[in-house]
Amino acid sequence: MKYLKKWYINLSIQRKILYCTLGVALVVLLAASVSQYMSASSIVTEQTRKQSAGVVNELSVNLDHYFDMVRNSFEYIANNNTVQEELESDEPYKSDGTELYSYYSRSGQIRRLLLQGYTSIYMNDIQLYGYNGANHLLANNHEINENTAQTSCELAEQAKGRCIYYNASEEGLMYMAKQIKDSLTMKPVGILRASIKLSYLKK
């Protein structure tokens, strides 16, 4: 340190001014670089946040539209005359999902209605259950969890015609259900339920 001090004292005035100018310029340049880096980093972070928020918002809107579509499908099926007739019939149709349906039969028409709500990759199964014993089922596997079915049906009954959601995380599914009422008397006649894969919703 003493050697450096002695070396600086022995310098000419021109060199002292030159070195001081270079030192100040270096400090200013370093400060400007840090300031510019912080400013650029802040801009990039803000833009990334905005883009991420936009993507999340778009996905959220798409998911809302998907559930709106499912709810509309539920309303359409629940208010269908053929479904109402089936759920009030003295001879309802019972199915495990394997029988053949005549195209013009009541059960055939109901199967086509259920298929309209079963076209999404989110959907795992869909079932129309009548208090009169009617049972129409479209499923990937024909194993229905009785506890989940009972819980979702009870929630649908409590909702009195509104669509409900039941998270069955242990099954990796979320259930959607709606109590169906007679369009004239408003008497409950059955329940429509569907399961949606949580893995797809998380994606």
Per residue in 3-24, pLDDT (tens digit) is 666 656 666 666 667 667 777 7
Q: Which of 1-5, 59-63, 133-137 reaches the highest mean pLDDT?
A: 133-137
- Using the predicted structure, report yes or no on whether residue 130 has a pLDDT greater than 90: yes
The number of beta carbons lying within 10 Å of the beta carbon of residue 44 is 10
- Using the predicted structure, report yes or no on whether residue 50 has a pLDDT greater than 80: no
Query: CB-hemisphere CA count at 13 Å for 92?
Result: 20
126 beta partners: 138, 194
Confidence of residue 101 (pLDDT cuts 50, 70, 90): confident
pTM of the model: 0.69
Query: For residues 61, 66, 69 and 75, what is the CA-based torsion angle, rounded to 10 degrees?
Result: -110
Report d(CA 23, CA 26) in Å as an integer.
5
Report d(CA 203, CA 200) in Å as an integer.
5
Q: What is the mean pLDDT of the chain?
A: 82
Supply the pLDDT for residue 9. 63
Supply the pLDDT for residue 99. 72
Confidence of residue 157 (pLDDT cuts 50, 70, 90): very high
Supply the pLDDT for residue 87. 93
When pLDDT is averaged across residues 28-41 and rounded to a whole number, the result is: 78
Q: Which is it for the CA torsion 5, 10, 13, 18, positive or negative?
A: negative
Q: What percent of the chain has pLDDT over 90?
A: 25
**Between 52 and 173, where is the model more confident?**
173
Q: What percent of the chain has pLDDT over 70?
A: 86
**Between 176 and 27, where is the model more confident?**
176
